[in-house]
Amino acid sequence: MSETAARKPALAHLIWWFMFAQGGVLAALLIPVHILVQGILGPLGIVKVVDRHYDTWISILGNPIVKLYLLVLISLPFFHFAHRLRYLLVDLGFPAAKSFPAQVVFYGAAIVVTLLAIYVLLTTAPLALG
């Protein structure tokens, strides 16, 4: 019995670790430039940015590749954040953040953000090819 249990691959563990690592890499590679350009340089008027005008913003949001990119950019890092914030709470003295219900809440929130992102991206701008 114990031998069977030992051989059973920790599939769930593997999936969440994979999502943690991928989300972390994506966040590291992609987020800083978005914050710099869309959050600082654009609003200060230093450069022209695609989201400063309605027509350029809505037009690029209609592109299916952009939609897919934004979905990955927004949703995947949340699986990384879920893990980090859970362990931040553990380190601050809340071991309950390791429990199964806490995992459901944190990874559930990442899934909710993913579904929300899919909904927003599909309903905001009509899909335009080219």
Partner 1 sequence: MNAEVETGRPAATRTYRRPMSAGWWTTKRHYFWYMVREFTALPLALWLLWLLYEIQRAGRGASGYYPPSSTPFVVFSAICLLFALYHSFTFLSLAGVILHFKVLDKPVPSRLIVLSQFGGWLVASVVIGAVLIGFGR
CB of 32 to partner 1, least distance (A): 4
Q: How far is CA 14 from the centre of its chain?
A: 18
Q: Which of residues 15-34 bind partner 1 (CB under 8 A)?
A: 24-25, 27-34
Q: Does 105 bind partner 1 (CB under 8 A)?
A: no
Contact indicator for 66, 124 with CB cutoff of 8 Å: no
* Side-chain half-sphere CA neighbours of 103 within 13 A: 7
CA angle 36, 73, 67 (to 5 degrees): 110
Tell me which residues touch partner 1 (CB under 8 A).
24-25, 27-40, 42-44, 47-58, 60-61, 70, 73-74, 77-78, 80-81, 84-85, 87-88, 91-93, 113, 116-117, 120-121, 123-125
